[in-house]
Structure 1
Amino acid sequence: MGGLGFQGKARNLQNLQGILRGAKILDLLIFKTSEIKRDALSVAKSITASFSDEVIIRSAAQNEDEESASNAGAFLTIPCIHSQAIDSLLSALERVSESMGEGEHELLVQPMLQGITLGGVVMSVDKEDSAPYVVVNFEESAKSDGITSGSSTKHQTFYHFRHASLPDQPRLRALIETIFELEAIFDCEYLDVEFAFAKEGESEQLYILQVRPIAKRAEILHQEVFEALEKIRIKFEKLNRPHPNLLGNRTIFGVMPDWNPAEIIGIKPRYLALSLYKELVTDSVWAYQRSNYGYRNLRSHPLLVSFVGIPYIDTRISFNSFIPENLNSKIATKLANFYLDKLANSPENHDKVEFEIILSCYHFNLPQKLGELQKEGFSQEELKRLEFALLELTNAMIDPIGGLYKKDLEKIKKLEEKFQSIESSELADIDKIYWGIEYCKRYGTLPFAGVARAAFVAVQILDSLVQIGFLNSQEKEDFLASLNTVSKKLSERIHELSSGKISKEEFLKEYGHLRAGTYSILSPSYKEAFESYFGDIKACKSPLKKEFCLSCEKKEILENLLVEHGLRISAQGLFDFIKEAIEGRELVKFGFTKVLSRVLEMVEAFGGRLEIPKEEMAHLDIKILLGLYANLEGITAKERLLEDILFHKEEFALARLLKLPPIILDSKDIYSYVLPSSHPNFIGSGRVQAEVVDESMEGLGGELEGKIVCVKSADPGYDFLFTKGIAGLITCYGGVNSHMAIRCAEAGICAVIGAGEEYFERWRRARFLELDSASCKVEIL
């Protein structure tokens, strides 16, 4: 039996009256535009006779809400017109009618819904790719059009896999049941529905305000997505069990904690990028170096888990690895469970766990932080043991002579020499790739993991000096602006290039390896796409240089503070450490990404010789290539590669349909969740109003000066942005201590780093924004 059939906005609602059981349709009147032209006064009088309070007059054009195109929002709607105000009705009828243009159209008149408690839009499948999810955008508000008009400032998004159990929340349950009822009525799984809940006495009533078909459609892969989610659930439940070698009763998975895959390789990377990140960092290197720095030994535990190609950090493993090695197991276990519970209770902090969740070093504000643990049942003795363990660990790290980070800074110097010896040798291509990655681990990512740890500690100590009032925010910014990082040197070289002091060839010899996606073979390097990154080089300003120096009085105060807190370093030595660690992190990252970029070129060339384009090689597991170094295969290298590429291409296509939350607390979250709110990280203390430029590699080479740039995630390859004179930067992913956060702070650029998906989507679509870092506020202008 066929469905009801779509007949336009007005008729769709009219036809639902008396049929729909799960929700109500408001009373309505329908008029043709020819009636308005012929006798608008009679139409107005009909409205006056039918309604006593305010009404809304809505367009219902011929080409509106059709299966081929919705034209949503293309025509005028005028709300809040009093039904007894004839002149106002006549004016509104004329304006709405004119907005639809020539031809015979209809107008829909309904009473304004009163007592609205929640309103929004629900899609029966994802509107972008027809993934089998009910997607609800809603806002608790007295307005019904906050979502559709774009005026909502506190909206939320709910994702529900269509075949999962209905949610416990009564409103969402009722809404989903009604969506399924509408699908049956219209015999269509592609629905876009506006709705509102309103008070009726002591209860709430669901109203359907509009039903339209989704025009953009693809096949709905119900079974494939169901099977993928089931695999993820089974994996989650296995990893969530108590583990004899791990502290903590459970785990939580997130895309932003610790080594932050969302920022570095993206939420849904192609498999070559994912497998390279695992090989170079998260499988073993991360744990080896963290153990070297005095934390618990987690060397046999991979930090990153791939859920059907979507990377997540296992926070139980991460939190274990931040506990000092010499802390007794009883306190350590108690601490691990405290961290996990705290993250579960404040999931919005999943991108800033080192600052809001865990205690990973000693700093000047630590005694206050420990007070929270005391409230949670930690004894004074336990707190003293923890404080001492963190103090000893920190003193070993900041030691001006024997600090481990100093050895790591020396180790990176060997990387270029080691790699060149391989690159210039007569070894086979596979052997060069194998040893290139080995050297990149030993002399690149391993020391980087160490120096990055020191830099995290350095920033926490610096922040604590602000928290206790020793420095103010401006003094902190001045210190960061005084640093001489790789990024600042890049800006200086761009200035020299634009003024003709160096050639393009000289610039690219030094910086040509950088690419916006460090681990992505599809992301072109600066030398491959110079014009796309920089456009026509014009005269640009040299980066500002600031001097920072503590007064003698401040140095004396700090010396006393250091003694009081048991930190074995001088005042000058402490600031030297902070400077060396932050600058060193960028220097080591610059060094290993240079080699990684050349390894990617080798992989691309190897694929080319096998007639496999880089677009296909992007889906290869790097371990397959590394395995060819030591193994004899029964099939040819090309067949082995193509087999693996096909598998991961299919996985990638499936992963793009999965709507997983940024943090998974429970197996239910795999199927159904409200996108968690986030607390964006504001950088700087300034305020800017500017035009918005959305992320797209095609557009970033254009005119960016004086604009606020929105970038999904930004690793060091995006440093070219700082040569463009941008007014501000907004990223979806990234932490308060990430590369981009530090870079914006030293450059004095207003920024929001790690806005979160909801805020980012809202802000990137705006034409103009006001970004006020001092007030931690972003306004759409």
Structure 2
Amino acid sequence: MDVFILGAGRPAYGTKPAALKNIALNSRAMDWQIHSFDTVTTPNNIHFLGGYHIDKVIESYPFLNFTVVADWQKKSLLHTFLSAPFGCKPIITCYSDTVFRKEVIKDITTVEADIVVGIDSIWRSRYADRTQLDIDGAETLDIPLANQAGLETVEFTGLVHFKQSVAQRLSQLDEAEAGNDLMSLIRQLESLGYSVAYFDVKGEWAEFNSPRDIAHFILGTKAETLARLEPLVQKSHIGKQVSFTTSQWYDDKASILTSVQSLFGNTQLVIRSSSKGEDNWYASNAGGFESILNVDSNCRETVTAAVDEVIASYGEGSCNNDQVLIQQQLTEVSASGVVFTCNLETGAPYYRFNFDDKTQSTESVTSGGSGDLRTVILSRGHEQHLYTVEPALSPVLSAIKELELLLGYDKLDIEFAIDTRGLVHIFQVRPVTIDHSAYDLDSNEISYQRAACEAYFTDHNLPQHNILGDKAIYANMPDWNPAEIIGTKPKTLAFSLYRQLITNDVWAMQRAEFGYRDVRPAPLINAFAGQPYVDARASLNSFIPASLSHDSANCITNAYLNILSENPHFHDKIEFDVAFTVWTPDFSDNASARLTPYKVTPAMISELELGLKDITRKALARLDNDTASIATLRQQNKDICSGNQSALNKGYALLEVCREYGTLAFSHAARAGFVATTLLNSFVATGALSEQRRSEFLKSFNTVAGDFELAKSALASGKINLPELISTYGHLRPGTYEISTQAYWEDPERYLYSAHNTSTHDSANFLFRQDELCSLKGFLDKLGSAISVEQLIAYLISAIQSRESVKFDFSKSLSLALDYIVSAGAEAGISRTDLSFFDFNDIESLKLNTLQWRSIPAIIAQRKAEYAITSSVELPSFIQSVSDFYCFERFSSLPNYITTEKAVAEVICYSATVEQDLNGKIVMITQADPGYDWLFGHGIAGLITQYGGANSHMAIRAAEIGLPAAIGVGDKLFDKISTMQRIEIDCSGQTIRKVI
């Protein structure tokens, strides 16, 4: 018979044609449909009727028959069907976003009627937690109840069988009389005398728009899945189980207890939750309900109490069909954990192992109660790299791959354990039912990106012009911290602006002017799969004093690279734990201890010391000259904004003057700020100051951020008005380089109004004691500096203030430029969100008239597609070998604890889209960006950032106001803290603890 698949329209979700939607094991919707029809026809009788991106469907399935419906956007679904090349054979038709069991296809053709319509009587509950929105959007019809009076509402599945006699009539119908959809056509044919019957598929089908529908179609319920797998697995062990619903427990508790004792005998049991609320389309609550361990199977009262406790954990709104699973308790555990067989956020082809190989607990991962959890990420198809990172997981991987093959599904959430004999035990197998339509990528595209990353790394691992060192290392936080400033997966415009304004050459120009090696033309930041990575070798080269001989510089650079290679967790602290960039009184001892094991000779260390002394001496006297261009920048900003140029030209001009007069000055100010911070830390280390006195000193003066808080207080008290505040601070924005985020002036209610004054400086209350002044004088004498102690103190204050004030000025140029670009985009009909996929070169080309606005939408569409790949590719924060692109462990960053204070409070992840009460909360944000300064005006109890260094803006701000903060906790710890409700930050003890 002929099969006609209706696929002209746009998909309900995502951008791919529904027929090309990825389903499982690199198979697509069309593969499943072709397979379901093979009992009634062959592929040469399958016809695809398409319009939307039909070229892509033809390219993927050239062996099928195709009809191009050119006017699909203006016509109805029925028009698509009636465009088919009907012949003399019987017909089956269906939508391109559905799949049916083979038995359904076969059985519908045996029904005695001219037309047989596939309907579903259990449509409302076909799969667990079908949303009301999906139910409301179902295509329904009312049919007569079998052997009863009245009608029944059922879902029309889109599956219809037409006998040969009807097929011959279809080509003769007048489309205008037939209606707009298949059911209208069927009613028309019925009026012409053809018989119509309804065939109930009873849930044996799925729509590709719902991940839960697909998962249910393939797997069934969790308990059913385990029961199916238990006799089949050979590379793991699935223990026998007793499973039952809460209603069954209340109806027949005695027989369930008898079954438990009969099956398990004299053993210890684990009684697990299997609530419908445990996993749903929108969130996973694995571990959110009770699991009771070490329950004595012989004691019916103990088993009863444990089951009741598990059911009680479901809450009052639980469903009577929620399940409880009882299995034998596993002992002698060497490791346990959870593995996702896809990227949870995007569905990309990665295995993510989260496991505990320290506590011997089988619950530590799902409960979140252990601090010893490890995370390993493995690219699918490159399993050999797992042996390098963690060979103990190899048997788990073998077991998981077997489960995928048995189930025919590769989006799974699996709980496992490894016993001391090496046997893998499987506790739970759940589908990952998050909708990944926005990232519906071909796995080949991700493979291509990884191969490109490998090729780039291999090429750049070779010796590079003007760069010393034998190996390449890349990371996202060693220098100028892209993960902190623009994020690990920035949009195109933010990334290009950061490169243009700072990391292409300004960064190296500053270092050369300061007295370090000139490494130009080496850029600081490269991209792997669209993600920014610092070239650590270039960075470390740029911290070698220019006065060093080639041999000394090369040997010291290699020492730095080896230290970093052996200690990847130092990648966000290279100026503290890897390289020496400032001279301090304890330099000689520290340098000898750190560098001598790496063949750096005492003579080389002495040479390095002389070079760093010279740089440090000059640093104490050059700050004013280095930042003098800021006055020119301020005037240029005023001139540009008051001019008559177009919005685009103003935006471009502001970016250019920002680069010429702003970012080099900021680079110098940032370097001075680091020098000041390093000196203060060394004064504590050598006993010249106590930690408490250092903290008091930092609180004794304000930075721009402190002035901002005073200004907000003045606004609240009526001493200044809102326009005055906006004129000075309105340009600030969370995510300094991100055009899609609002500047403060756009939402003053959120950012500029505050009832909390967090400015705590009081210069009159801090004076250095005589013994401290003597120590500072001793430092200057050893350094060989001619400045006075008073000038040194003035420098320390000015350097820390200038780092923030110069950034404030250059970011004003940048923010104003973004405002003008938004205006220019609006004039051209380009949304603000789309403008985030702009590039600096686009702005320049539009200004030079070598690019037209009409070309921009196509460019943006291409970049959006590329960004979807960027979002899906998993990469480590530290790369030093080709293997790192395919398998890596997420190591825990060591947070930078700011102040010696402590805070205990509810923790909250800040969201820009949800109204939140932040007062008294410990707030979590991704980046330590100055655009989040407004948080300090909302009475927060503490701060945690995913990225950021000890010298980042938020670290300095927190120190200034005495706010307990953990800056740069890293991916792993950030994710763990985000699952907690109440925590303690103990900065003195350098710990973050969950508080019950």
TM range (shorter): over 0.9
The structure having more radius of gyration, on CA atoms, is 2
Q: Which runs of 5+ in 2 are unaligned?
A: 1-34, 36-100, 102-214
State yes or no: 1:377 paired with 2:590. no
Match of 1:596 in 2: 814
The Cα shift of 1:104 comes to 5.6
Which residue identity lines up with residue 564 of structure 1 in the other structure?
K
Match of 1:207 in 2: 425
CA distance in structure 1 between the partners assigned to 2:294 and 2:446 by the alignment: 44
CA deviations 1:675-696 (Å, max 9, x no partner) are 1221111011011111112121
CA distance in structure 1 between the partners assigned to 2:494 and 2:342 by the alignment: 29
Q: How does 1:257-296 map to 2 (within 5 A)?
A: 257-296=478-517
The Cα shift of 1:506 comes to 1.0
Q: Which fold has the larger relative contact order, with Cα–Cα distance below 8 Å and residues 6 or more apart in sequence? A: 1
Q: How does 1:348-427 map to 2 (within 5 A)?
A: 348-371=569-592, 372-399=594-621, 403=622, 405-427=623-645
Match of 2:903 in 1: 688
Match of 1:619 in 2: 837
Match of 1:44 in 2: 257
State yes or no: 1:137 paired with 2:354. yes
The 1:31/1:415 distance shift into structure 2, 3 A limit, reads closer
Q: Which runs of 5+ in 1 are unaligned?
A: none
Q: How does 1:188-587 map to 2 (within 5 A)?
A: 188-200=409-421, 204-218=422-436, 219=440, 221-371=442-592, 372-399=594-621, 403=622, 405-534=623-752, 537-538=754-755, 540=757, 543-546=760-763, 547-587=765-805
CA distance in structure 2 between the partners assigned to 1:619 and 1:745 by the alignment: 36
Q: How does 1:102-141 map to 2 (within 5 A)?
A: 103=320, 107-140=324-357, 141=359
The 1:541/1:571 distance shift into structure 2, 3 A limit, reads closer
CA distance in structure 2 between the partners assigned to 1:102 and 1:720 by the alignment: 44
Contact 1:285 1:445 in 2 (8 A): yes
CA distance in structure 2 between the partners assigned to 1:63 and 1:538 by the alignment: 40
Which residue identity lines up with residue 615 of structure 2 in the other structure?
L
Match of 2:19 in 1: none
CA distance in structure 1 between the partners assigned to 2:693 and 2:374 by the alignment: 38
CA distance in structure 1 between the partners assigned to 2:633 and 2:284 by the alignment: 57
Which residue identity lines up with residue 387 of structure 1 in the other structure?
E
The 1:308/1:289 distance shift into structure 2, 3 A limit, reads same
SS of match in other structure, 2:671: helix
RMSD: 2.3
The 1:394/1:9 distance shift into structure 2, 3 A limit, reads same
Identity, % of aligned pairs? Answer: 34
CA distance in structure 2 between the partners assigned to 1:97 and 1:459 by the alignment: 55
The Cα shift of 1:519 comes to 0.8
The 1:435/1:658 distance shift into structure 2, 3 A limit, reads same
State yes or no: 1:666 paired with 2:900. no
The 1:73/1:330 distance shift into structure 2, 3 A limit, reads closer
Contact 1:8 1:62 in 2 (8 A): no
Contact 2:699 2:760 in 1 (8 A): no
SS of match in other structure, 2:219: coil
Contact 2:651 2:816 in 1 (8 A): no
CA distance in structure 2 between the partners assigned to 1:228 and 1:367 by the alignment: 45
CA distance in structure 2 between the partners assigned to 1:62 and 1:302 by the alignment: 52
- Number of corresponding residues: 769
CA deviations 1:608-643 (Å, max 9, x no partner) are 22221221111011112123444x53xx51134334
The Cα shift of 1:417 comes to 0.6
Q: How does 1:134-173 map to 2 (within 5 A)?
A: 134-140=351-357, 141-166=359-384, 167-168=386-387, 169-173=390-394
SS of match in other structure, 1:709: strand
SS of match in other structure, 1:580: helix
CA distance in structure 2 between the partners assigned to 1:59 and 1:486 by the alignment: 53
CA deviations 1:549-590 (Å, max 9, x no partner) are 212332123313331343443322222111111101111001
SS of match in other structure, 1:311: strand
CA deviations 1:477-533 (Å, max 9, x no partner) are 011111221011001101111111111111111111111111111111111111232
Contact 1:6 1:66 in 2 (8 A): no
SS of match in other structure, 2:745: coil
Contact 1:532 1:697 in 2 (8 A): no
CA distance in structure 2 between the partners assigned to 1:38 and 1:725 by the alignment: 53
The Cα shift of 1:19 comes to 1.0
CA distance in structure 2 between the partners assigned to 1:244 and 1:211 by the alignment: 53
Match of 2:75 in 1: none
The Cα shift of 1:243 comes to 1.5
SS of match in other structure, 1:195: strand
The 1:192/1:377 distance shift into structure 2, 3 A limit, reads same
SS of match in other structure, 1:656: helix
The Cα shift of 1:113 comes to 0.6
Contact 1:66 1:212 in 2 (8 A): no
State yes or no: 1:82 paired with 2:82. no
State yes or no: 1:712 paired with 2:712. no
CA distance in structure 2 between the partners assigned to 1:44 and 1:539 by the alignment: 59
Match of 2:983 in 1: 769
CA distance in structure 2 between the partners assigned to 1:75 and 1:596 by the alignment: 49
CA distance in structure 2 between the partners assigned to 1:26 and 1:324 by the alignment: 64
CA distance in structure 1 between the partners assigned to 2:418 and 2:705 by the alignment: 51
The Cα shift of 1:250 comes to 1.4
Contact 1:684 1:744 in 2 (8 A): yes
Contact 1:486 1:586 in 2 (8 A): yes
Match of 2:963 in 1: 749
Which residue identity lines up with residue 227 of structure 2 in the other structure?
Q
SS of match in other structure, 1:746: helix
The 1:560/1:543 distance shift into structure 2, 3 A limit, reads closer
The 1:220/1:646 distance shift into structure 2, 3 A limit, reads closer
The 1:532/1:558 distance shift into structure 2, 3 A limit, reads closer
SS of match in other structure, 2:935: helix
Match of 2:890 in 1: 675
SS of match in other structure, 2:377: strand
